[in-house]
Amino acid sequence: MEKVRSKGEKTKRYIAEQAKVLFEQKGYAATSMEDIRSATNISKGSIYYHFKSKEELFLFTIEEANKEWIQKWRKKADTAKTATEKLYILGRCYASDMHSSLAQTVPEYIASENVQGVMQEKLSHVIQPEYEVFLGMIEEGIERGEWNPDQTAEDLAFILYSTLTGLSITQFFGYGKEQFYHLYDSAIAVFLEGITKQ
């Protein structure tokens, strides 16, 4: 039974890896299930056994990418001595992730699918771990006495998360990679100015 489960899990991950490449190359809307079938050389029936829809498959690839991003961030954050340092590292890691092709497909997905109801819940579930990283950073800085905000940690986490996510559109205005990272550093600096203990 374990062997069957393991083989099924391998197949699911293989489908997701191939789909991720297609989503990165073509975008969400332009990638069809036929494209995925062709890239994987797996029947549509098998693909639909693992993922009920292209949307579900896309959200799975985003969720897996988020897990990788969080692991990468935690590894880098372990080198920081203060919450402020960790916040700058968070901004840099987030900028790096937003510069990836897969991250650029999320706004397209949201616009093309008119995300509501169950899929809105699923999307919220997928991005919740990212938000939790932001919230944890804010709470750590407050607990250490580095920051003394007037707002709640939850509100600040949403403000910072929305700000950094929103900055991702600057790459469409011709900002180079270094300018892009500089914007994220500047956003963190402005944010910290508002919450740093006086």
In angstroms, rounded to a whole number, what is the distance separating the alpha carbons of residues 25 and 154? 35
Position 149, amino acid: P
d(CA 15, CA 32): 13
Look up residue 156 and give its two tokens: 């600040």
Domain layout of the chain by residue ranges: 54-195
- Regions of the chain where pLDDT drops below 70: 1-5, 99, 111-120, 197-198
Topology of the domain covering 54-195: Tetracycline Repressor; domain 2 (1.10.357)
Residue 4 has a pLDDT of 47
Query: Which runs of E-coded beta strand occur in 64-184?
Result: none
Q: Are 195 and 147 in contact (CB under 8 A)?
A: yes
pLDDT of 2 reads 47
pLDDT of residue 177: 78
d(CA 197, CA 29): 46
Do 58 and 109 form a contact (C-beta atoms < 8 A)? yes
Burial label for 131, CB within 10 Å (0-12, 13-18, 19+), is middle
CB atoms near residue 55 (< 10 Å): 18
pLDDT of residue 105: 78
Beta bridge partners of 196: 147
pLDDT value at residue 94: 83
pLDDT at 20: 93
Predicted pLDDT of residue 5 = 57
